[in-house]
Structure 1
Amino acid sequence: MSEATHILLTGASGFVGRALHAKLIEQNMPVAASLRMPSQLEVPNTFFISDIDGRTDWSAALTDQHIVIHTAARAHIMKDEVADPLAEYRKVNVEGTLNLAWQAVAAGVKRFIFISSIKVNGELTGLNKPFTTEDAPGPEDAYGISKLEAEQGLQQLAAETGMELVIIRPPLIYGPGVKGNFASMIWLAKKGLPLPLGAIKNKRSLVALDNLVDLIITCIDHPAAANQVFLAGDGQDLSTTELLRGVARAMGSPCRLVPVPAGLLQLGATMLGKKAMAQRLLGSLQVDISKARKVLGWKPPLSVEQGLKRCFDD
């Protein structure tokens, strides 16, 4: 990348943004960071954007920038208690994103990299029938719908203005400091309690944080990335059983899994009103990353085993 190329990274204090910002600094790339609060990242060249919506003023942060990497978003919330979740997601993820993109065009930004979500494709795949970028979208929740609408708005904007657009859809992201479902899995593994998940034969695609960061950086100046959609992943799919065993190995802890048939677990979860949780544990969600391999010549730098070990780096 040319040393004259300047990058604005939004969401620089988030799970992905913080790791990406550190890597950009490490590689001596000129980067400005947008944050929600002044105390979130003690680095120079930062802009504090407290709220993102259709009225946010990005003019100061966009001055002299050539690339925008937009990781900031209203994240997926498991138990959303707002009256209208879709409206809240749209305010940040759709209106806020498109407002930033239009201001980026006006400021002369050449490329806009949007971190979307595999939820745009859907929630489940058939076993060994991974999602591809060519599949018709099938979001099932408000978060996924908002990410799809943002993608569609950005694609229209790019077609009208000529600003290059790159869309990246990651599945579940794991790495140091991970939260959410993956953190819950780590907590269970640490407890060493027997779990009835020793006979699950599904397949789930994941992406290590370092692998996602590497893909994003590849897309900053790769000419073939322009106006493309890529699915991110480690290139190695795991069953829930394999994942739990891998987490335990990475921690150096015993793994106590009881081989209960998946059908019985599904039935029990349905009776207890935990159908969604069972879907995440028992269902398959696979992604095909061959497009990124072919178009960009990209390959994930870390294996799943290495990525899991990174979760426990001090």
Structure 2
Amino acid sequence: MNILISGIHGFIGSNFIGALKDKHTLYGLDIVFPAKDGVVNTFSWRDIEPTSFPFQALPQFDAIIHLAGKAHDTKNQSVAQSYFDINTGLTQKIFDFFLESSAKKFIFFSSVKAAADSVVGNVLTEDVIPTPVGPYGESKIKAEEYIKEHFMFPTASIDEDQSLRLGKDKGRTAMNKQVYILRPCMIHGPGNKGNLNLLYNVVKKGIPWPLGDFDNRRSFTSIDNLCYVIEGLLNQDVPTGIYHMGDDEALSTNELIGIMCEAMGKKPHIWKMNKGLMEGCAGLGTLLHLPLNTERLRKLTENYVVSNAKIKAALGIDKMPVTAKEGLMKTIRSFEETK
């Protein structure tokens, strides 16, 4: 299978090369063009613009994986428009190319942040009405909307009025192609801790974690599980749709610290300081503009559990190949080995 991968030289793309190169022929689409083992050639974005048609100048691709995008800036220092230029604009460009190309499968990497900044209820499923907060999530949902405006997706409701459905489908493409919108939660793996970096540094320095009294649970995505899912989407006849992605087990911050300490051979230092006291300190921090404020405390202690039931059912599996703990141990140990 000839596969075109945008953003192929990033962390996720590099892992996909390792997972796919032995069974597929891989091409890149990126803003940098280093030679890389397993990649036949890396094209520029100009090569897929309409002015570069006809497509005969490019290989005949069987599948396209769209990874390229602007990552979530947790420090909020990025200009909002840049998210839309990159996350929405590049998606529109490569999806237009896909519709005109010979490729039969398109995998778009969106994010759970396109669905919700915070999870209402016990778990985040694909049925949620998207309510993104901030330019990162908003730009991702705009990209999703563009795809669904130009390609027939399964209706969310079996009770939807047929005439309304026909009206919505006007202008959409129905063909022998399959499109997958993948919404992973926080991805990590050897060489990339993702947003675990702050917590990792706290644990590494032996600084006590003062929020042990909060019992929150969060989902993570091991790069090994992600590669497994991508291979499944490429090789199996999976229906077009939106799929959330995460490991099978959600972990509390206390459990996460325990796993990090186990990987580093350290003893965990978790302080269970009174919830009310910590919330009061955070409120004071908001008034005095201190690092620990109410919003930061909420982010550190909130639940964000993502369901992977739909993607597992589509792939015909009961569980992911790697547990959340196994994936995290592998990630943390990789940093201990390279420090």
User: TM-score w.r.t. structure 1 length?
Assistant: 0.88
2:303 paired with 1:284: yes
**Moved segments of 4+, more than 6 Å:** 50-58
Task: Report the CA distance between 1:261 and its aligned residue.
Answer: 3.0
Aligned length: 305
Unaligned runs of 5+ in 2: 153-171, 287-292
2:327 corresponding residue in structure 1 = 307
Distance 2:232 2:260 in 1: 28
* Alignment CA distance shift 1:212-1:262 (3 Å): farther
* Deviation per residue, 1:3-54 (Å, 9 max, x gap): xx211111112121111121111x4222112232233745541314379998
Unaligned runs of 5+ in 1: none
2:206 corresponding residue in structure 1 = 192
2:105 corresponding residue in structure 1 = 111
Structure 1 counterpart of 2:312, from 293, 304, 310? 293
Distance 2:56 2:330 in 1: 36
2:136 paired with 1:122: no
Which SS does the other structure have where 2:16 is aligned?
helix
2:259 corresponding residue in structure 1 = 246
Distance 1:247 1:57 in 2: 49
* Deviation per residue, 1:124-146 (Å, 9 max, x gap): 2246x101101111111111111
Letter in 1 for 2:253: T
Structure 2 counterpart of 1:17, from 13, 17, 37? 13
CA root-mean-square deviation: 2.5
2:62 paired with 1:49: no
1:32 corresponding residue in structure 2 = 27
1:156 corresponding residue in structure 2 = 149
2:134 corresponding residue in structure 1 = 141
User: TM-score w.r.t. structure 2 length?
Assistant: 0.82
Structure 1 counterpart of 2:186, from 160, 167, 172? 172
Q: Identify which range, 172-181 or 43-52, moves more after superposition.
A: 43-52
Task: Report the CA distance between 1:264 and its aligned residue.
Answer: 3.1
Which SS does the other structure have where 1:45 is aligned?
strand
Which SS does the other structure have where 1:241 is aligned?
helix
Distance 1:300 1:153 in 2: 30
Distance 2:300 2:271 in 1: 14
Q: Alignment identity in percent?
A: 27
Structure 2 counterpart of 1:98, from 83, 92, 101? 92
Larger radius of gyration: 2
Q: Identify which range, 135-144 or 157-166, moves more after superposition.
A: 157-166
* Deviation per residue, 1:236-292 (Å, 9 max, x gap): 111111111111112222211111133433332343243343222100111111111
Q: Identify which range, 130-139 or 213-222, moves more after superposition.
A: 213-222
Which SS does the other structure have where 2:151 is aligned?
helix
* Deviation per residue, 1:186-234 (Å, 9 max, x gap): 12111112120222201111111111121122111321x2311111111
